[in-house]
């Protein structure tokens, strides 16, 4: 009757941070799948969910990722308005936030975005100033290079 298989409710954990990483790293708690309460150390059958501690490595700050996701959603919404079309019909253009963050000033950032939106027939000034306001204070999310 229950449809939870052996992998139902299982969570994945990445390896713990290596030596010299500045501490034990963040802690994440996993909830056992239903019917697995008797498993684990001690085999206690407690009322309520059983929690066991796990460790994961974190490459990026969760707040920065959330900001970036919100920014991307905002950009898509604005582009659908600017181009007066559905998301799937937006002309292929890539607004690289990390590239913009690398630039020296808001003037060069604005010029780059204006360059990307050259085929947009609607005024783009409000979009550009809104984008520059939103990326102000953001951090680059370039992936760390492996040695």
Whether the pTM exceeds 0.85: the reply is no
Residue 30, helix vs strand vs coil = strand
* Exposure of 16 in the CB half-sphere (CA atoms within 13 A): 10
Of the ranges 4-13, 17-26, 33-42, 83-92, which one carries the lowest mean pLDDT score? 4-13
**Of how many residues is the chain composed?**
147
Ranges of H-type helices in the chain = 62-82, 97-102, 106-116, 125-135
| Per-residue model confidence as pLDDT tens digits over 15-30 | 444 444 455 556 665 5
Match 């969570």 to its residue by tokens.
11
| Per-residue model confidence as pLDDT tens digits over 70-94 | 999 999 999 999 998 888 888 888 8
Residues with Cβ within 8 Å of residue 10, at least 6 apart in sequence? 33
């Amino acid at each position: 009757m229950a449809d939870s298989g052996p992998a139902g409710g299982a969570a994945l954990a990445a390896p713990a941070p290596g030596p010299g990483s500045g501490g034990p790293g963040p802690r994440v708690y996993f909830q056992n799948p239903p019917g697995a309460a008797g498993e684990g150390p001690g085999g206690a059958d407690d009322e309520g969910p059983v929690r066991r501690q796990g460790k994961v490595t974190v490459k990026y700050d969760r707040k920065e990722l959330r900001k970036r996701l919100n920014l991307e959603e905002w950009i898509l919404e604005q582009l659908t308005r600017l181009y007066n079309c559905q998301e799937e019909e937006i002309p292929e253009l890539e607004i690289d936030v990390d590239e913009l963050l690398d630039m020296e000033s808001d003037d060069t950032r604005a010029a780059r975005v204006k360059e990307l939106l050259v085929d947009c027939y609607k005024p783009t000034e409000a979009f550009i100033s809104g984008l520059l306001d939103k990326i102000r204070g953001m951090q680059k999310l370039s992936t760390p290079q492996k040695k």
